[in-house]
Amino acid sequence: MKARITVTLKNGVLDPQGKAIEHALSGLGFDGVGQVRQGKVFDVELSETDKAKAEADLKAMCDKLLANTVIENYSVAIT
Amino acid sequence: MKSAVVLLPGLNRDRDMIAALTKISGQAPATVWQTDTEIPDVDLIAIPGGFSFGDYLRCGAIAARMPVMRAVAEKAAKGVMVIGVCNGFQILVEAGMLPGALMRNSSLKFVCRQVKLQIANANTMFTRRYQPGQIIRSPVAHHDGNYFADAETLARLEGEGQVVFRYAEGTNPNGSINDIAGIINDKGNVLGLMPHPENLIEAAHGGSDGRALFEGALGIAA
Domain span at B18: 3-218
Cα dihedral B198, B201, B204, B206, rounded to 10, equals 100
To the query of whether residue B196 is one of the catalytic residues in this protein, the response is: yes
Q: What average pLDDT does chain A have?
A: 95
Domain boundaries, chain A: 2-78
Distance between CA atoms of B149 and A66, rounded to whole angstroms?
A: 19
**Which of A17, A64, A66 lies at the smallest CB-CB distance from B104?**
A17
Distance between CA atoms of A74 and A3, rounded to whole angstroms?
A: 13
Strand ranges inside chain A, DSSP E: 2-9, 40-45, 72-78
What pLDDT does residue A67 have? 97
Q: Which of B86, B94, B142, B143 is catalytic?
A: B86
Mean pLDDT of B4-12: 97
pLDDT bin (cut points 50, 70, 90) of residue A9 is: very high
pLDDT bin (cut points 50, 70, 90) of residue B1 is: confident
B100 interaction partners in chain A (CB closer than 8 Å) = 70
Q: What average pLDDT does chain B have?
A: 97
A16 interaction partners in chain B (CB closer than 8 Å) = 103-108, 146, 175
Is the predicted pLDDT of residue B202 greater than 90, yes or no? yes
Is the predicted pLDDT of residue B222 greater than 80, yes or no? no
CATH classification at residue B56: 3.40.50.880
**Which of A13, A20, A68 lies at the smallest CB-CB distance from B108?**
A20
Inspect the interface and report whether the beta carbons of A70 and B58 lie closer than 8 Å. no
Is the predicted pLDDT of residue A12 greater than 90, yes or no? no
Is the predicted pLDDT of residue B153 greater than 80, yes or no? yes
What pLDDT does residue A14 have? 85
To the query of whether residue B86 is one of the catalytic residues in this protein, the response is: yes
Mean pLDDT of B92-115: 96
- The predicted-structure confidence for B125-141, as pLDDT tens digits, reads as follows 999 999 999 999 999 99
Number of domains within chain B: 1
Mean pLDDT of B183-196: 98
What pLDDT does residue B221 have? 78
To the query of whether residue B112 is one of the catalytic residues in this protein, the response is: no
Mean pLDDT of B198-215: 96
- The predicted-structure confidence for B171-186, as pLDDT tens digits, reads as follows 999 999 999 999 999 9
Nearest CA among B176, B190, B194, B164 for reference residue B86 = B194
A41 touching B (Cβ < 8 Å): no
The CATH T-level fold of domain A2-78 is Mth169; Chain: A , (3.30.1280)
**Which of B57, B108, B149 lies at the smallest CB-CB distance from A16?**
B108
* B81-85 vs B190-193, strand pairing mode: parallel
What pLDDT does residue B107 have? 93
pLDDT bin (cut points 50, 70, 90) of residue B85 is: very high
- The predicted-structure confidence for A19-33, as pLDDT tens digits, reads as follows 999 999 999 999 999
Q: How far is CA B131 from CA B82, B124, B134, B185, B192, in A?
A: 22, 11, 5, 20, 19
| 3-state secondary structure labels for all residues of chain B | CCEEEEECCCECCHHHHHHHHHHHHCCCCEEEECCCCCCCCCCEEEECCECHHHHCCCCCCCHHHCHHHHHHHHHHHCCCEEEEECHHHHHHHHCCCCCCEEECCCCCCCEEEEEEEEECCCCCCCCCCCCCCCEEEEEEEECCCEEECCHHHHHHHHHCCCEEEEECCCCCCCCCHHHEEEEECCCCCEEEECCCHHHCCEHHHCECCCHHHHHHHHCCCC
